[in-house]
Amino acid sequence: MLDRIRASIPALPPAEQRVAKLVLADPRSFASLPVAELAERSHVSKPTVVRFCRSVGYDGLADFKLKLAGSVNEGVPFVHRSVDEDDKPSDIIVKVIDNTVSALLKFRNDAASHAFERAMEALAEAGRQGRRIEFYGVGNSGIVAQDAQHKFFRLGVNAVACSDGHVQVMSATMLKPGDCVVVISNSGRSRDLLDAAEIARKKGATTIVVTASGSPLAQQAQILLAADHPEDYDRYSPMVSRLLHLMIIDILTTGVALRLGEHLRPMLQEIKRNLRAKRYAQPE
């Protein structure tokens, strides 16, 4: 929300720009102060404060302050950054979804397409040559690695997922040039993954890393797919980060499938046809 306000400043009239700058200077206070004091601090009229709120896409001052409070609070530690202790189920639904949608849209705007292109091409080439494609993750990221393996093996490539630190080290030791490893981590500080990524890189495998930019693991990457978000990994359960990582895997799977060519589609169609036989209830 604050990013949107910051980006909108050049298009606002001068008086509304002063209101915007007051929001950005102290969003917590803005969310709690009455309109008269907001107008006085901004050196504008009270109607101008309301017009500003509407100019940036909200129904009015009350709606703006409600959304602003939700975007700058610290949430419930170890539960979720966007909810409060006394939230009703309807509030939780809106806040969790809004927080997720905001993170996805920010990633869409910030994603480095050239990094994705390099990753897709490396993975597709490994698939075409029958080389190994491995996905490493621990804890919650290990689940994402399993999802990646499930998606990639259907493309007819040699894909495996490892979530045990010892197995990761052994598997990375057996990698060769032409192989690919995708290392997934929210914090980018897991010792197991740092060790495995370093070994894979030294063995000549293409090392693709999905993590926060600036983290120690990001420094090990040949290709970095940065997944930055406001979720503090020390204070909150991984919610947005997990969804971002799953989305990145979906993007990679789609890009690799397209690069592997049309001959892949009959196999995918046959897989779907064979899976239909596993369903007890068939459509009319």
**pLDDT reported for residue 167:** 96
pLDDT at 78: 44
Neighbours of 156 (CB within 10 A): 16
Q: Which fold has domain 112-262?
A: Rossmann fold (3.40.50)
Looking at residue 151, its pLDDT comes to 94
Across residues 218-236, what is the average pLDDT?
A: 80
Q: What residue type is assigned to position 96 of the chain?
A: V
Q: Where are the beta strands (DSSP E) in the chain?
A: 132-136, 158-162, 180-184, 206-211, 223-226
Query: For residue 277, what are its two tokens?
Result: 């036989």
Concatenating the DSSP letter of every residue in 164-186 gives SHHHHHHHHHT--BTBEEEEE-S
Say if residue 203's pLDDT is above 70.
yes
When pLDDT is cut at 50, 70 and 90, the band that residue 47 belongs to is: very high
Query: Using an 8 Å Cβ cutoff, are 126 and 206 in contact?
Result: yes
Q: Does position 75 have pLDDT exceeding 60, yes or no?
A: no
Q: Average per-residue pLDDT in the chain?
A: 87
Domain 1-72, CATH 3.40.50.450 — does that match? Answer: no
Residue 164's pLDDT band (boundaries 50, 70, 90)?
very high
**Tens digit of pLDDT for each residue in 103-114?**
888 888 888 899
Q: How far apart are CA 84 and CA 69, in angstroms?
A: 11
* 12: pLDDT strictly greater than 70: yes
- Tell me the average pLDDT across 201-227: 94
- C-alpha angle 175/181/186, rounded to 5°? 140
Tell me, what's the pLDDT at 68? Answer: 84
- pTM for this one? 0.71
- Ordered by start, the domain boundaries in the chain are 1-72, 112-262
